[in-house]
Amino acid sequence: MKKLLVIILFGLSLVSCATSQNNYEWTRLTGETVSYLGPEGTYTGQAAKLFFGDDVAYYAEKTVSDAVASMISGKYDFAVIPQENTVGGPVTAYIDELLSHDDISVVCETELVIDQALLMKKEAELVDITLVCSHEQGLIQGKKWLEENLPFAHTQIVSSTAEGARLASISDKSVAAVASAAAADVYDLKVYAPRIQESDANRTRFYALSTGEKRRERADRMLFSAKGNISDFPKLIKAFGALKPAAITARPLKTNLGEYIWLIELKDSGYDEFLKISNVDGFEFKYYGSFPLI
């Protein structure tokens, strides 16, 4: 990434982002503190470093909800959360977290290649393993390998892949984790099997969130939500015109069958494009901002 140009403004720093994938010129506000899904060693922590570099203080939270709530309360300036994986699909709990707050804006997005490994204590062997801990997505991504190589081991879902590694490090040698090779270094474990994910195209999207002003300029991506009935969805899609969606996720409103809230990310667009789409009858819209894909 190109070096960031820092200008002090209103007690925050106005930083020029690295050139985005569509070469938009882009600036974003950044402060001194960033929360992320911890503990140390998560892919979310790696994504946070891509967004903000080494000039901010990072704080690992136990859950995505904690990371977002701490940002909203003013404890931290930004939060970084995962959104979607190519194998496990959208992380619905994290999408619901985003949809549940009105005062959140998205300021940057990035994608990381996810290489999951089986980690265990250095003295352990595969025959010792009776329990494998990881985030739900980690277990989904490594499901085939685990079924073939550890068919009798139980699995336990924890808050993050790195939390699985931490638990393996403080347990006896019967406990393993699905996590990154970097987490093995953090928690003094060995990588028994690298790259156990089902697909070599395993990638995850991450958002950097803020409570600051939502950007309006046209950018690589623009995010909004639309709440309505599935019967009206075709006219919403028609309103996109030539705009191309990057991602569409539907979540039930939990009111009546057929009523949803869609989280929609469009390419090469901004607030002007959102205003045109928001004229479609039958929907309630919310804008989350335009932002670079770095």
Q: What is the CATH number of the domain that holds 40?
A: 3.40.190.10
Residue 270 structural domain: 215-293
CA-to-CA distance for 150 and 198, rounded, in angstroms?
A: 15
Claim to verify: residue 104 and residue 207 sit in the same structural domain: yes
**Domain count of the chain?**
3
> Strands, DSSP E only, in the chain?
6-9, 12-16, 27-30, 33-37, 57-61, 78-85, 89-90, 105-113, 117-120, 131-134, 154-157, 175-179, 190-193, 203-210, 219-229, 245-252, 259-269, 284-291
Claim to verify: residue 107 and residue 208 sit in the same structural domain: yes
DSSP helix/strand/coil, 180:
coil
Q: Which two tokens stand for residue 50?
A: 């891509």
The amino acid sitting at 82 is P
Claim to verify: residue 206 and residue 71 sit in the same structural domain: yes
The residue written with tokens 């069958």 in the block is 257
Nearest to 53 by CA among 79, 18, 24: 18
Q: What is the pLDDT along the chain (294 residues), one digit of tens a residue?
A: 333 322 222 233 233 344 455 556 655 445 789 999 999 999 999 999 999 888 899 999 999 999 999 999 999 999 999 999 888 888 888 899 999 998 899 999 999 999 999 999 999 999 999 999 999 999 999 999 999 999 999 999 999 999 999 999 999 999 999 999 999 999 999 999 999 998 888 899 999 999 988 999 999 999 999 999 999 999 999 999 999 999 999 999 988 999 999 999 999 999 999 999 999 999 999 999 999 998
Strand ranges of the sheet holding 259-269, from the earlier edge strand across to the other edge: 245-252, 259-269, 219-229, 284-291
Q: How high is the pLDDT of residue 31?
A: 73
Q: Select from 212, 245, 269 the last residue of a domain.
A: 212
Strand ranges of the sheet holding 27-30, from the earlier edge strand across to the other edge: 6-9, 12-16, 27-30
CA-based angle 49:53:57, to the nearest 5?
A: 80
Claim to verify: residue 34 and residue 106 sit in the same structural domain: yes
Q: Select from 184, 212, 240 the last residue of a domain.
A: 212
CA-to-CA distance for 108 and 39, rounded, in angstroms?
A: 22
Nearest to 203 by CA among 105, 256, 263, 137: 137
